Amino acid sequence: MKTLTEQEKQVLWEEVCKEFPDDRTMQEVHFARWVHHETLRGLPDSDKIEFYRQAGKRHPKTADAHKLRGQVLTSMNSADQLASSQTCPL
């Protein structure tokens, strides 16, 4: 699993800001999606599935709530921190 640099995260953040210039929620959702995509790139599907299972275990309350609907959640602590501390360059 790859660890993204702050510069790589910044590039991703700028891209999602261009895609969704007026929608902070969509920016954060797509930023998280892109971080996961880049972090897990090249890994076999079994490793990706395990990543999401482990993320659910790290957040048991959230995982329990979504387990009822059969969803797996992810941990985006660093991505959340980066997204919440930045605004989109316009």
Residue 22: give the domain boundaries: 6-83
The total domain count for the chain is: 1
Tokens of 16: 């999602």
Spans of the chain, pLDDT less than 50: 68-79, 82, 90
Q: Are 85 and 31 in contact (CB under 8 A)?
A: no
pLDDT for the residue 59: 64
In a domain, 62, yes or no: yes
pLDDT for the residue 90: 45
CB atoms within 10 A of CB 27: 22
What is d(CA 29, CA 20) in angstroms, rounded to the nearest whole number? 10
In a domain, 47, yes or no: yes
In a domain, 90, yes or no: no
User: pTM of the full predicted structure?
Assistant: 0.60
In a domain, 43, yes or no: yes
